[in-house]
């Protein structure tokens, strides 16, 4: 059996997205420790119940700060020397970069989980050039690079980030825990929900503009927006969200802890993102029997069978999004049919236990 260290930049993701993987590692007899910023007090007790150790490690995931990032690299090296894992699994951009560097220096086998290329890779410029070179250096050491959609794999190859294509493993995102996310009855009236960090690249502004269009057409559908403010450079200023709420365009609910209860109140889940790895929110919605409306982009289109489990809108196009929302607002039968088909699609393609088994096989764990 092996000692496994998982390093990620978002501690809540350990319990929101990766519980099935952590459970599978523990069930296989491995000793598992997770490391991430100590930003959520709920994380350590849940990990303890899973039989997973917890090691807080501090860094700024939202901005490039060379001196603080170098300290993060030293902390990872120190953690590797102290714990001496047989395998390091990294997830999210900074851990994928600095974890790979540290693992190479300390002689620890490592793997990267690319959960989406992110805005830095979507915009031309010097930041993308630097990020590409940094990640390429790390991926020269990572012996497995997990990706969640074929577009990301293609781009990482074209940019020279991953020079050995045999290292790629394509997964169905993180998958969805089908036992935890169960079907709930659909509300009779149309209720739209966008659940996301308040990021420009998640399509928050397009959602607000689509809501304005629907109100102008006389729609009385409830339009909900939930999620935390993001302090990064991609964050939507709270004044814009509050203005939309105050104007009656939508209802902003802030951060919501009980996501299943919130999802049960909606009849359609909306995510007009510009790019994803594979959207976990959409998988949650489908598992609960909700049709989805999302954009025809990487990481979103893979979750939808257009016209069967949901609808695709054009990216960065509020009018296209509004048309899709109006289409489902006016057709309760379509909402019910697509929601049921979505659950079946999730069962067939996005079972988190299947994803976890694939990860363990790929890492020979």
Give the residue from 115, 78, 84 showing the smallest Cα distance to 98: 78
In this structure, the number of other CB atoms found within 10 A of the CB of residue 311 comes to 24
Assess if residue 95 is contained within a domain: yes
- Domain-located, residue 169: yes
**46 and 171 assigned to the same domain:** yes
15 part of a folded domain: yes
Lay out the sheet containing 168-170: strands in order across: 53-56, 31-36, 3-8, 87-91, 110-113, 144-147, 168-170
Q: Is residue 185 part of a domain?
A: no
In a domain, 183, yes or no: no
Q: Give me the domain span that covers residue 341.
A: 191-349
Minimal CA–CA distance to 311: which of 298, 295, 332, 290? 295
Clarify whether residues 204 and 171 are in a common domain: no
Q: What is the DSSP string of 83-102?
A: H--SEEEEESHHHHHHHHHH
Regarding whether 345 and 355 lie in a shared domain, the answer is no
Tens digit of pLDDT per residue, the chain (365 long)?
A: 899 999 999 899 999 999 999 999 999 999 999 999 988 899 999 999 999 999 999 876 655 555 677 888 999 999 999 999 999 999 999 999 999 999 999 999 999 999 988 777 777 888 788 889 999 999 999 999 999 999 999 999 999 999 999 999 999 999 999 999 999 999 999 999 999 999 999 999 999 999 999 999 999 999 999 999 988 778 999 999 999 999 999 999 999 989 999 999 999 999 999 989 899 999 999 999 999 999 999 999 999 999 999 999 999 999 999 999 999 999 999 999 999 999 999 999 999 999 999 999 999 99
Q: Look up the CATH number of the domain holding residue 90.
A: 3.40.50.2000
| One domain, residues 209 and 90 | no
Nearest-angstrom CA–CA distance, 362 and 142: 13
Let me know whether 335 and 358 are in one domain.
Answer: no
Domain total for the chain?
2
Q: Are 25 and 167 in the same domain?
A: yes
pTM for this prediction: 0.91
């Amino acid at each position: 059996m092996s000692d496994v260290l998982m390093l990620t930049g978002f501690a809540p993701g350990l319990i929101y997205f990766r519980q099935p993987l952590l459970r599978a590692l523990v069930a296989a007899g491995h000793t598992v420790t997770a490391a991430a910023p100590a930003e959520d007090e709920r994380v350590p007790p849940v990990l303890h119940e899973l039989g997973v150790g917890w090691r807080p490690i501090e860094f700024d995931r939202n901005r490039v700060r060379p001196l603080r990032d170098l300290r993060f690299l030293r902390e990872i090296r120190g953690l590797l020397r102290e714990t001496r894992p047989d395998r390091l699994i990294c997830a999210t951009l900074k851990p994928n970069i600095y974890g790979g560097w540290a693992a190479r220096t300390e002689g620890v086998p490592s793997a990267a989980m690319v959960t989406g290329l992110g805005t830095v890779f979507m915009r031309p410029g010097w930041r993308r050039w630097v990020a590409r070179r940094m990640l390429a250096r790390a991926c020269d050491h990572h012996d497995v690079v997990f990706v969640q959609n074929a577009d990301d794999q293609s781009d990482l190859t074209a940019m020279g980030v991953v020079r050995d294509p045999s290292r790629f493993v394509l997964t169905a995102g993180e998958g969805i825990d089908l036992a935890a996310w169960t079907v709930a009855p659909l509300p009779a009236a149309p209720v739209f929900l966008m659940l996301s960090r308040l990021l420009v690249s998640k399509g928050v502004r397009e959602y607000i503009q689509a809501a304005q269009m629907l109100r102008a057409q006389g729609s009385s559908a409830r339009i909900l927006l939930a999620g935390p403010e993001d302090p990064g450079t991609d964050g939507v200023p709270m004044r814009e969200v509050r203005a939309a709420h105050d104007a009656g365009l939508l209802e902003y609910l802030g951060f919501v802890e009980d996501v299943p209860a919130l999802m049960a109140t909606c009849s359609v889940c909306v995510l007009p993102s510009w790019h994803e790895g594979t959207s976990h929110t959409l998988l949650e919605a489908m598992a609960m029997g909700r049709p989805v409306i999302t954009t025809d982009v990487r990481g979103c289109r893979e979750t939808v069978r257009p016209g069967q489990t949901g609808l695709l809108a054009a990216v960065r196009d509020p009018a296209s999004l509004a048309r899709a929302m109006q289409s489902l607002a006016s057709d309760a039968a379509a909402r019910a049919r697509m929601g049921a088909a979505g659950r079946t699609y999730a069962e067939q393609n996005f079972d988190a236990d299947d994803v976890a088994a694939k990860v363990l096989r790929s890492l020979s764990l």
